[in-house]
Amino acid sequence: MVAGVFNGGALVLEWELSEKLFVETSFCLVLDWISCLFSMSVLYISGCVCVFSGFYLSHDKFLEKFFVLLKLFVVSMVVLVLFPSYLGLMVGWDGLGVISFLLVIYYLSSCSLSSGMITVLSNRVGDVCFILAISLMSSSLSFGMWGESFVSGFVLGIFLMMGSMTKSAQVPFSAWLPEAMSAPTPVSSLVHSSTLVTAGVYVLIRFSAYLSEFEMYMLSISSMVTMLLAGSSACMESDLKKVVALSTLSQVGMMMFAISLGANVIAFFHLLVHAFFKALMFMCMGGVIYYSGSCQDSRFLGGVWNKLPFTSCLFLFSNFSLMGFPFFSGFYSKELIVGAALSLNVGLMAVVLFFMCLAFTISYSFRTLNLVMQDMSVFSLKFYSMENGYYLSSLLLMMNGAISTSLIMQSILKEFSTVSFVNPSVFYSVLLLLVMFFFNLVLLFNCLSKKSFMSLTKNFLKSMWFLSIISGNFISSKLLMMISSYIVYVEMGWIRAFIGSKVINSISMVFRNKIWEMNMNFFGVILFVFLSVFLILKVF
């Protein structure tokens, strides 16, 4: 069977649930090379994360509960990967959203509750889109990924795309990913780097037959805006975990961009490679945070290069992978995406924005390296140590991910190596354009040193182009105020007090008084007896 899967075959097991509906409601388990590879990498990364959390949460009282939650999360992800029919997918999809809520609110404080709420409500919007997609699919013959949408047109693709966009935190649903960094670092390393945000990408890869031209277009626009947003915000962000989260956001945007070009296999390759080196990056970050007394703010950190050499070395390597430094792990997949972007039919604007995002990636990676490693003499560095066995072993297990994972994958699977022919004049002209643009930008920022402009730019970029404020605080406070005033006026006022008390009381009082009068009256009694006798005679 292994040889069969290797050569492109698949094993499908189907379990039929109900026969009463016209649609085939069934759960089908599919084992082909995509699902096998993805589930293998998910299980490997989660194993390393479990070892890492033995180090990070070693002082926590509820460690068994944490492990149970983590295992449930991994089960949901594996169910999502292995069951690509829509009904089976929803099991994993909903499970992912809900268990990530529990993991984000693990620390039981009010700010983690607000982050958990925005996470799960954004995911719930995606769930609703998927439910509507299932309802549309009920009119076709099956829920699987093999169908074509011949009945519902492009609306099905829109629902599919919107659902995946909420899970993978594309614009306009991006606010939850930096907020979800209130979770413990092992959770971020598993959930927010490799599994939760890639679930949307995986669903789009599987169901890409349902996407039409319009959705591809919208997807490319939204992924480009996401990449820009994440790249520019990461250059100004001071919380280190949020910087890594924003880098995840931009990489997921890149994967979505590759899907919108039609290069699904390249997107899948980048998904796997990115999972490995991003998990490693989060683990190194977790070690730094743990040893500096849970300080996440980079303005207080520095000088890790001297005190945690192994960690900083691996951090350096994973950042190089992220930037696409030649012959590191991330280089192979990123180069394929760039090649696809240049050789397939996209407009000039798309290519320019794509290259700008790559430039942003390099800039914030170097900024992070600088902030973490350079000795700024702002923090007491006496307490770092590398003695914990769990930490060392988890780093050693994941070490390969930053360096040679993609080389190994490319040499085993022939689907991952493609060739693209790039027009050199296009390439060099775009490069020149970008260099000039950045030169202008640097000049602009140097000449305009007005304080208000700089602070405005900083506010704009720090709150992710104001998206985090709009998505969270503004919407929820307005909605809850509206609901409360609705309750006071309509619910308690009209329905309960007016109709409930006054109207019903007045009606029953009126009747009661009249019946009282009638019963006490002799004439009324005679009338009542006569009428009842007449009615009985009439009916029978």
Site of interaction with another protein (CB under 8 A) = 17-21, 25, 27, 62, 65, 87, 90-91, 94-95, 98, 101-102, 105, 108-110, 113, 116-117, 120-121, 124-125, 127-129, 131-132, 134-136, 138-139, 479-480, 483-484, 486-487, 491, 495-496, 499-500, 504, 508, 539
Q: Which is nearer to another protein, 95 or 262 (CB)?
A: 95
| In the complex, minimum distance from the CB of residue 353 to another protein, in angstroms, rounded to a whole number | 32
d(CA 323, CA 147): 38
CA gyration radius, the chain: 30
Which residues partner with 16 through β-bridges? Answer: 26
Q: Which is nearer to another protein, 374 or 484 (CB)?
A: 484
| In the complex, minimum distance from the CB of residue 110 to another protein, in angstroms, rounded to a whole number | 7
CB atoms within 10 A of CB 470: 14
| In the complex, minimum distance from the CB of residue 23 to another protein, in angstroms, rounded to a whole number | 9
For residue 524, the one-letter residue type is G
| In the complex, minimum distance from the CB of residue 495 to another protein, in angstroms, rounded to a whole number | 5
Which residues partner with 15 through β-bridges? Answer: 27
Q: Which is nearer to another protein, 293 or 500 (CB)?
A: 500
d(CA 128, CA 165): 13
Closest by CA to 88, choosing from 44, 35, 46, 40, is: 35
Q: Which is nearer to another protein, 102 or 373 (CB)?
A: 102
In this structure, are residues 322 and 247 in contact, taking their beta carbons and an 8 Å threshold?
yes
HEC string for 403-452:
HCHHHHHHHHCHHHCCCCCCCHHHHHHHHHHHHHHHHHHHHHHHHCCCHH
| In the complex, minimum distance from the CB of residue 491 to another protein, in angstroms, rounded to a whole number | 6
Q: What share of the chain is helix, strand, coil (3-state, %, to 5)?
A: 75, 5, 20
Q: Compute the Cα dihedral for 185, 76, 165, 33 and give only its sign.
A: positive
| In the complex, minimum distance from the CB of residue 124 to another protein, in angstroms, rounded to a whole number | 4
d(CA 189, CA 286): 9
Q: Which is nearer to another protein, 132 or 265 (CB)?
A: 132
Q: Which is nearer to another protein, 26 or 264 (CB)?
A: 26
Q: Which is nearer to another protein, 109 or 374 (CB)?
A: 109
Q: Which is nearer to another protein, 96 or 358 (CB)?
A: 96
Q: Which is nearer to another protein, 66 or 315 (CB)?
A: 66
| In the complex, minimum distance from the CB of residue 355 to another protein, in angstroms, rounded to a whole number | 38
| In the complex, minimum distance from the CB of residue 480 to another protein, in angstroms, rounded to a whole number | 6
| In the complex, minimum distance from the CB of residue 91 to another protein, in angstroms, rounded to a whole number | 4
Burial class (CB in 10 A: 0-12, 13-18, 19+), 7: exposed
C-alpha distances out from residue 30 to 81, 152, 203, Å: 9, 26, 14
Q: Which is nearer to another protein, 22 or 523 (CB)?
A: 22
| In the complex, minimum distance from the CB of residue 400 to another protein, in angstroms, rounded to a whole number | 36
Residues in contact with 487: Cβ distance below 8 Å, sequence separation at least 6, in sequence order? none
C-alpha distances out from residue 231 to 112, 236, 267, 281, Å: 25, 9, 19, 17
DSSP annotation of 269 reads: H
Burial class (CB in 10 A: 0-12, 13-18, 19+), 295: middle
d(CA 310, CA 386): 9
